[in-house]
Structure 1
Amino acid sequence: MPDKSATLILFGATGDLAHRMVFPSLYHLQCDGLLPRPFHILASGRTEMDDAAFRATIAEALKTYAAAELFDDARVAAFLDTVIYCPVAAGDDAQFAALAERAKALGDGPVAVYLSTPPSLFAPTAEGLAKAGLVAPTTRIAMEKPIGKDLASSREVNDAVGALFHEEQIFRVDHYLGKETVQNLMALRFGNRLFEPLWNSSAIDHVQITVAETVGLEGRVSYYDGVGALKDMVQNHMLQILSIIAMEPPARMDSTSVRDEKVKALRSLRPMNADTVHTHSVRGQYRDGAVKGKLVAGYAEELGKPSDTETFVALKAHLDNWRWTGVPFYLRTGKAMPNRQSEILIQFKPVTHSIFRRNGYHKPLEPNQLIIRLQPDENIRLCIMAKQPGLDRDGVKLQEVGLDVSLAHAFEGERRRIAYERLLLDLIEGDTTLFVRRDEVEAQWTWIDSIAAGWRASGQKVVQYAAGTWGPSAGIALIERDGASWYD
């Protein structure tokens, strides 16, 4: 196990993500005694302020976002004592030098750097750290997604950061990998004899992955327009989930073995082109409507101008390998949808022959389903056929029933962790297993770029859907053409 980082330098510390997720997660870790002692947080942003003023903003954030059972004045005061603030703007060598001076005064142990900034600042920030003497073989650097906006720009960012840090020092963050239920996918597959023998094309008909949001732009206009759902959600969160579902069993639970198998699955994705995007993809954009009884303005209206950016995308993906040949993976994500949910459906094939057909009773058997809900309620549900109570004079009658495992209920009394708690602790301890390796990022972008290029070549436009619905009718038709339906 590498030495723990006793100092965390956080760039973008005045931003929303830092206040909602990063600082509350660090506070929880300190309350649980999981951070090194001593431990220091050197916060940085472009805003000029002193330590006391910045600490006041963190104290307010903790009142809102910290776990209620862990919040008390003494703990907050002890946490704030670990926080100091140093304003830094990218490209300002003098400010980076001042940051380095403060960092070195905190101790000479390993330093972890967290970039909660726009991707355009990743390389300039890394270069500023190097000029200031803050890059060493023990330094770790974490970068929030997205890494670039396509394969070429992704390589530029990775080349620039990779020139200063070795790959094992780079922690590319996808917060979905820190979610308990996403990690449970591996436990479900590889910790239970029940599923893995059936986890292939001989038993599985298709797989669905849905990530639905009820929100619209929510102040992300400058970022989201021109990016869209394909690059904002599919390229990272959804493909990471897909890779865990589809990968071969790793030899062991370590960063190299797990990520080797994930990248093999991602490289198996069949590229799309100008012909296949018409049958295998749908682009949508929400117009005005209502979400949970609240009126929502359309995307273009909220943006203030017409736009061809998609807020919804549905895809039919294929993995060209032995395990998954012939099994479609349906991916769906969108904004301004009826419910906020992230869900995986494993649809098994029907039994090859039903013995329960006599005396005129011919009700078909429902194929088994495994539904894994990631959010908002973490749950695993297995749908099976069971006999209805009765004397069966007209034949045995079966009915689908669900076997439910509510993780919140099963582990009642254990606090549910913010995903960032796990990821920050792994960064501090130097464990890269739940972070994305460069070849994974590039495999993801290779597939996404094929879709984007197909859209451009074919001139595929967005189709409208009302806010508060499950997307355009074309998204429903995408899966129903194959005799299946979305699980809502």
Structure 2
Amino acid sequence: MTAKQAAGWTNPLRDPRDKRLPRIAGPCGLVIFGVTGDLSRKKLMPAIYDLANRGLLPPGFALTGFARRDWATQDFGNVVYEAVKAHARTPFRQAVWDRLAEGFRFVQGSFDDDDAFDRLEATVRELDRERGTGGNHAFYLSIPPDAFPVVCKQLARSGLARQEGLEQWRRVVIEKPFGHDLASARELNEIVNDVFPEDSVFRIDHYLGKETVQNILALRFANQLFEPIWNSHYVDHVQITMAEDIGLGGRAGYYDGIGAARDVIQNHLLQLLAFIAMEEPTSFSSDELRAEKTKVLKATRLVGPLDETTARGQYSGGWQGGEKVPGLTEEEGFDPESGTETYAAITVEVDTRRWAGVPFYLRTGKRLGRRVTEIAVIFKRAPHLPFDATMTEELGQNAFVVRVQPDEGVTMRFGSKVPGSTMEVRDVTMDFGYGTAFTEASPEAYERLILDVLLGEPSLFPVNEEVERSWEILDPVIEHWHAAGTRPDPYPAGSWGPESADLMLARTGRTWRRP
């Protein structure tokens, strides 16, 4: 079998340039560390079943779980079954399940247990013989970042990270966070790259697997409509928002001391900015896409002074959805004096000819008005309106809004005459929704990303340089907030953030969108 065949099975009768038919993963297996966690049960296991159900995994695919639990393989299979029944996107089919379950294995042990990793290595070799996985295995580290070093060293020591010959591959998948600042990100990259070459490292940012994020590229570069106005001559500013209406009860162990800026802005929002602001790549190869994103991040700089161009907040108790909810410091596990921010907003600019002078406002928060992720490109007002002021008093600025979640789609806002005998112009919207435009439901982000890992398709995975540059952008904000020695500004649950965030835009005569 050639390396290309191992990367993905192809139909010999189809034109390899025809992208309409999906690529199917070649012989391979996936090992999940942290298989007992929420991410594994709610996202990874269901995504693997959905891929199998769609015919995108090879018949001999193998799934191995690694955890401390004293389970037999049958116990592990029961856990996967319950996860699939509860969270799979596609209908349950017994025949698909039976074939998939034949490839399940479970290895019990801790991360510092040499014998356990030796058993895992023997299990992988057994799968190569019995399931025909061909020596091709990906290792999914769904574990806390502080466990990465020991697991990577164990993968190296046991020989699991070693590929034997050019026709085999070994890959590692890493969940965010990729460090907590620039120094820790560099240290983590060095640890991982000591064991796996960079082209075998896949850093998961699940937002990049969403259809609407990828559709940004299609909207921009497959249509002539938008390109002429996608620049500072016409764009007033850009708002990128990730809002959640849930609190942080039960997540103190991960979130306290991390905060909203590190959790979301450093990865998700800066990656979305890169997609919106990047130049057209010469092709859609992974190298070209990554190169253009990296150029944008290198050109991105903070706008100061940071006292006025950033904001942070922490939700207090209030009413949300008709229910009284506690503030962060009243949530289980959080220090009553916690200074962790649950809301963060920053202002950046992209120093390129296309975007010079256009502010990009990035914000994220918990316990906000509703759950929504969107990118809003707000256009400048027309330089001349041949109407009386009363005719256009309800007219806002044109906007192009990409809805990443929920209700995935695109909205355009523009002015139109109100029916009647008088000339009155008011905002209207033109809406495209994935749910109504296409008969096929969008796959979950993890389906696309896991399949890309098995195919060796790295386009949607940030590389070292992107991760480190993102920390270079954010670190001065974190350091500034820490040096100020003040607590985050309070905001009531169910609102859209602290007053300081509204003031941040009001200083330039702008306002936040209320999605």
TM-score range, shorter chain: over 0.9
- SS of 2:300's equivalent in the other structure is coil
Moved more, 291-300 or 438-447: 291-300
CA distance in 1, matches of 2:94, 2:459: 35
1:478 aligns with 2:504: yes
1:382 to 389, 412, 423: 412
Corresponding residue of 2:33: 11
The equivalent of 1:38 in structure 2 is 60
Structure with higher RCO (Cα < 8 A, 6+ apart): 1
**In structure 2, C-alpha distance between the alignment counterparts of 1:332 and 1:361, rounded to whole Å:** 34
Letter in 2 for 1:258: L
Structure 2 counterpart of 1:290, from 305, 319, 337: 319
2:353 equivalent in structure 1: 322
Q: Which of 249, 267, 276 is the matching residue for 2:305? A: 276
Instruction: State how far apart, in whole Å, the 2-side matches of 1:232 and 1:5 are.
Output: 35
Q: Which runs of 4+ in 1 moved over 6 A?
A: none
How many residues are aligned here?
480
Task: Indicate how the Cα distance of structure 1 residues 305 and 399 shifts in structure 2: closer, same or farther if over 3 A, else same.
Answer: closer
What amino acid does structure 2 have at the position aligned with 1:386?
Answer: S
Structure 2: 5+ residue stretches without partners: 8-25, 129-133, 164-168
SS in 2 for 1:453: helix
Partner in structure 2 of residue 105 of structure 1: 126
**Contact persistence 2:400–2:412 (CA under 8 A):** yes
Amino acid at match of 1:281: T
After superposition, give the CA deviation of every residue in 1:319-366 in whole Å (9 maximum; x if it has no partner).
2222211111111111111211101111011111123349x8564753
Q: Name the aligned partner's letter for residue 110 of structure 2.
A: A
2:99 pairs with 1:78? yes
Q: Which amino acid aligns with 2:289?
A: V
TM-score (norm 1): 0.95
Confirm or deny: 8 A CA contact 1:208 1:330 kept in the other structure. Answer: yes
Determine helix, strand or coil for the equivalent of 2:407: coil
**Which sits farther off after the overlay, 422-431 or 458-467?**
458-467
| Residues 138-173 of structure 1 deviation map (CA, whole Å, 9 limit, x = unaligned) | 211110011111111111111011011111111010
Say which SS state the counterpart of residue 140 (structure 1) adopts. strand
Unaligned runs of 5+ in 1: none
Amino acid of the structure 1 residue aligned with 2:192 = V
The change in CA–CA distance for 1:218 and 1:418 in structure 2 (over 3 A counts) is farther
Q: Please tell me the residue identity of whatever aligns with 1:278.
A: D
Scaled by the length of structure 2, what TM-score is found? 0.90
Task: Indicate the residue corresponding to 2:222 in structure 1.
Answer: 191
**Partner amino acid for 1:6?**
C
Mapped contact 1:88–1:99 kept (Cα < 8 A): no
Superposition CA RMSD, Å: 1.7
**Range with bigger deviation, 124-133 or 435-444:** 124-133
1:88 aligned partner:
109
Check the 8 A contact 1:144/1:173 in 2, yes or no.
Answer: yes
CA drift at 1:383: 1.1
Shift of 1:470: 0.8
Identity of aligned residues (%): 40
| 1:23 equivalent among 29, 41, 45 | 45
CA distance in structure 2 between the aligned counterparts of 1:162 and 1:5, rounded to whole angstroms: 25
Aligned partner of 2:23 in structure 1 is none
Offset at 1:391?
A: 4.8
Q: Secondary structure at the match of 1:106?
A: helix
Query: Compared with structure 1, are the counterparts of its residues 432 and 361 closer, same or farther at alpha carbon in structure 2 (3 Å cutoff)?
Result: closer
2:329 aligned partner: 300
Q: 1:306 to 1:356 in 2, by over 3 A?
A: same
CA distance in 1, matches of 2:70, 2:414: 60
Confirm or deny: 8 A CA contact 1:10 1:115 kept in the other structure. yes
Deviation at 1:458, TM superposition (A): 3.0
- 1:146 is aligned to 177
For 1:162, the aligned partner's letter is: N
Q: Is residue 2:144 matched to residue 1:118?
A: yes
Query: What's the offset of the Cα at 1:62?
Result: 1.4
Equivalences for residues 205-354 of structure 1 within 5 A? 205-271=236-302, 276-302=305-331, 303-354=334-385
| Counterpart residue type for residue 402 of structure 2 | I
Aligned equivalent of 2:204, options 162, 169, 173: 173
Change (3 A) 1:106 1:350: same
1:402 paired with 2:424, answer: no
1:465 equivalenced with 2:491 (yes/no): yes
Deviations 1:160-209 (A, max 9, x none): 11011111111010000000111111111111111112111111000001
Q: Report if aligned partners of 1:347, 1:368 keep a CA contact under 8 Å in 2.
A: yes
Deviation sequence 1:19-74 (CA, Å, 0-9, x none): 1000100000001110123110111112221111111111111121012x521344
1:448 to 2:477 alignment: no
1:292·1:338 contact (CA, 8 Å) conserved in 2?
A: no
Which range moved further: 419-428 or 291-300?
Answer: 291-300
1:446 is paired with a residue whose SS is helix
- 2:503 partner SS: helix
Tell me the secondary structure at the aligned position of residue 43 of structure 1.
strand
- Separation (CA, whole Å) in 2 of partners of 1:214 and 1:362: 34
Deviation of residue 305 (structure 1)? 2.2
Q: Which moved more, 1:318-327 or 1:141-150?
A: 318-327
Change over 3 Å in CA distance of 1:391–1:168 after alignment to 2: same
Aligned residue for 1:164, secondary structure, equals: coil
Aligned counterparts of 2:236 and 2:483: Cα–Cα separation in 1 = 31
